[in-house]
Amino acid sequence: MATLKEKRTCGQRCEDFGRFIWNSENGTFMGRTPEKWVYISLYYVAFYVVMTGLFSLAVWVLMYTLNPYTPDYQDRLKSPGVMVWPDTYGEEDVTISYNTSDKASWMGMSKILHEFLEPYNDTKQLHCNPYDCTMGKYFIQKSFSAPNHTKWACAFNQSMLGACSGIEDPTFGYNCTMPCVIIKMNRIIDFLPTNSSSAPPYVNCTILSGQENVDKIEYFPTNGTMDPSYFPYYGKLAQPTYVNPLVAVRFSLVGKKQAKVQCRVVSEKISYENIHDPYEGKVIFYLKAVK
Ligand SMILES: *[C@@H]1O[C@H](CO)[C@@H](O)[C@H](O)[C@H]1NC(C)=O
Ligand SMILES: *[C@@H]1O[C@H](CO)[C@@H](O)[C@H](O)[C@H]1NC(C)=O
Ligand SMILES: *[C@@H]1O[C@H](CO)[C@@H](O)[C@H](O)[C@H]1NC(C)=O
Ligand SMILES: *[C@@H]1O[C@H](CO)[C@@H](O)[C@H](O)[C@H]1NC(C)=O
Ligand SMILES: *[C@@H]1O[C@H](CO)[C@@H](O)[C@H](O)[C@H]1NC(C)=O
Ligand SMILES: *[C@@H]1O[C@H](CO)[C@@H](O)[C@H](O)[C@H]1NC(C)=O
Ligand SMILES: *[C@@H]1O[C@H](CO)[C@@H](O)[C@H](O)[C@H]1NC(C)=O
Ligand SMILES: *[C@@H]1O[C@H](CO)[C@@H](O)[C@H](O)[C@H]1NC(C)=O
């Protein structure tokens, strides 16, 4: 009893510790004989070598099976989203509102469109996308026949937007009451909008409210068609020079000069009634011109 309760002095504890480090009686170092230390070290070395090997093998297998040209995890998105330019987003909706008598106001709108169309510059497209595409059918490419192991992409130039190209009228109609908007559909890798290329997707804009304020709707290119030769898209690495086909829409505003518009890309495989994604297959915006 007494020995158990007996408090050990500091010197004794140090002595115990010293014996633990090197016990000359049993010849152990930190509780193990040098021979046992060698064995246990070898064991751990072998263990970590095997673990590292397994890990490297797993990484290598993963890298080997990844195809750099297509993402392995495409998001659930099956139907593309649609956007409108000028992309002037208000609280919730897109509101394209401008003042025809305030130069700064309409210049702001045309500036957005000029910047947006920069990649579509005629000379730039001629240079980047020299391939002579066959319009009217899907441009399926099995091989990488373009320079630097890439695939060709079809040119889409500003001129194809006619009166809304910003070339003849650099204001895009914003200095008066005939504003142009540009509709773009997001890219989806390997997506074909229709089962056959005979009925290509086209943009159809309808006036949801203020019908009496819109006299005329014009589409550029003709009929608002997105030519099938721009599909499918093969990805950024395979088609570095790809540009989305665009459709410009010109509204002739009259009367109160305001309307709520829905522009939809119409196609067999593009849905537009997804309540969870209001931008799927269509875009809704307010158009308003003031004086
Ligand atoms: C449009 O701009 C003109 C000139 O700056 C200004 O007088 C007018 O009040 C503006 N109209 C509206 C509705 O803001
Ligand atoms: C296209 O680019 C060329 C050269 O950069 C430029 O001179 C021309 O004005 C541009 N065209 C348009 C419509 O912006
Ligand atoms: C723009 O594209 C159209 C259609 O591909 C082509 O006919 C036209 O020559 C192009 N314009 C320029 C300036 O490259
Ligand atoms: C191919 O790649 C090289 C090196 O990145 C580049 O210098 C060359 O301009 C590329 N050729 C084409 C046609 O893009
Ligand atoms: C708008 O600009 C175009 C091109 O610069 C010009 O032809 C037209 O007369 C202008 N319209 C008004 C109302 O200023
Ligand atoms: C096109 O394909 C969709 C599904 O991929 C199918 O529901 C539809 O019936 C097809 N339409 C035609 C005309 O083949
Ligand atoms: C565009 O949509 C409207 C409303 O859904 C429809 O009445 C019209 O026929 C469509 N136009 C075309 C060319 O499909
Ligand atoms: C535009 O649509 C009309 C009517 O559907 C058709 O007759 C015409 O050929 C189309 N034009 C083009 C360039 O697709």
pLDDT in tens, 68-107: 776 666 655 578 999 999 987 766 788 999 999 999 999 9
- Calculate how far, in angstroms, residue 122's C-alpha sits from the geometric centre of ligand 3: 7
Ligand with the closest atom to the CA of 169:
5
Ligand 4 pocket, mutate which of 131, 144, 148 (most atoms under 8 A from CB): 148
Q: In what order do the strands lie in the sheet with 214-220?
A: 82-85, 180-185, 246-253, 214-220
- Calculate how far, in angstroms, residue 125's C-alpha sits from the geometric centre of ligand 8: 26
Query: Looking at the 3D structure of the chain, how many domains does it have?
Result: 2
DSSP state of 225: B
* 73 within some domain: no
* 31 within some domain: yes
Ligand 8 pocket, mutate which of 223, 226, 229 (most atoms under 8 A from CB): 223
Contact 228, 197 (CB under 8 A): yes
* 1 within some domain: no
Based on the fold, state whether residues 55 and 178 are members of the same structural domain: no
Q: Which domain holds residue 53?
A: 9-66
* 76 within some domain: no
Q: What is the pLDDT of residue 74?
A: 62
Based on the fold, state whether residues 62 and 110 are members of the same structural domain: no
Give the model confidence (pLDDT) of 36-57 as tens digits.
Answer: 889 999 999 999 999 999 999 9
Give the model confidence (pLDDT) of 176-222 as tens digits.
Answer: 999 999 999 999 999 999 887 678 999 999 999 999 999 999 999 99
Atom of ligand 1 nearest to the CA of 100: 1
* 74 within some domain: no
- Which conformational region is residue 257 in: left (phi greater than 0), alpha (psi within -120 to 50 degrees), or beta? left
- Tell me what the pLDDT averaged over the chain comes to: 89
> Is the beta carbon of 195 within 6 A of some atom in ligand 6?
yes
* CB neighbourhood size of 202 (10 A): 17
**172: helix, strand or coil:** coil
* 2 within some domain: no
Kindly state the tokens that stand for 90.
């208000």
Based on the fold, state whether residues 146 and 184 are members of the same structural domain: yes
Q: What is the CATH number of the domain that holds 88?
A: 2.60.40.1660
The CA distance from 197 to 194, in Å, is 6
Label the pairing between strands 282-290 and 94-99.
Answer: parallel
Burial of 273: CB neighbours in 10 Å, binned 0-12, 13-18, 19+: exposed
Q: How confident is the model over 8-24, as a mean pLDDT?
A: 75
Give the model confidence (pLDDT) of 218-227 as tens digits.
Answer: 999 999 999 9
Contact 84, 183 (CB under 8 A): yes
* 13 within some domain: yes
Based on the fold, state whether residues 208 and 131 are members of the same structural domain: yes
Ligand 1 pocket, mutate which of 95, 99, 174, 288 (most atoms under 8 A from CB): 99
Q: Among residues 21, 40, 66, which one ends one of the domains?
A: 66
> Is the beta carbon of 206 within 6 A of some atom in ligand 7?
yes
| Percentage, residues of the chain above pLDDT 70 | 93
Contact 282, 265 (CB under 8 A): yes
Based on the fold, state whether residues 124 and 163 are members of the same structural domain: yes
Based on the fold, state whether residues 166 and 238 are members of the same structural domain: yes
Ligand with the closest atom to the CA of 150:
4
Report H helices in the chain: 2-5, 10-21, 34-65, 103-116, 122-128
* 198 within some domain: yes
Based on the fold, state whether residues 205 and 275 are members of the same structural domain: yes
In the predicted structure, residue 121 carries a pLDDT above the cut 60: yes
In the chain, which ranges are E strands? 22-23, 28-29, 82-85, 94-99, 180-185, 202-209, 214-220, 246-253, 258-266, 282-290
- Calculate how far, in angstroms, residue 204's C-alpha sits from the geometric centre of ligand 7: 6
Instruction: Determine the residue type at 64.
Output: Y
Q: What is the pLDDT of residue 1?
A: 45
Based on the fold, state whether residues 277 and 165 are members of the same structural domain: yes
Pocket of ligand 4 (CB under 6 A): 147-148
Based on the fold, state whether residues 128 and 265 are members of the same structural domain: yes
From atom 1 of ligand 6, which residue's Cα is the shortest distance away? 195
Based on the fold, state whether residues 43 and 98 are members of the same structural domain: no
Based on the fold, state whether residues 139 and 283 are members of the same structural domain: yes
> Mean pLDDT highest for which of 58-72, 191-205, 240-254?
240-254
> Is the beta carbon of 175 within 6 A of some atom in ligand 5?
yes
| Cα dihedral: 223, 211, 164, 168 (round 10) | 120
The CA distance from 82 to 264, in Å, is 8
Atom of ligand 8 nearest to the CA of 221: 13
Closest CA to 249 of 127, 63, 113, 46: 113
> Is the beta carbon of 176 within 6 A of some atom in ligand 5?
yes
Based on the fold, state whether residues 228 and 132 are members of the same structural domain: yes
Q: What is the pLDDT of residue 73?
A: 63
Q: What is the pLDDT of residue 217?
A: 97
Kindly state the tokens that stand for 160.
């194809």
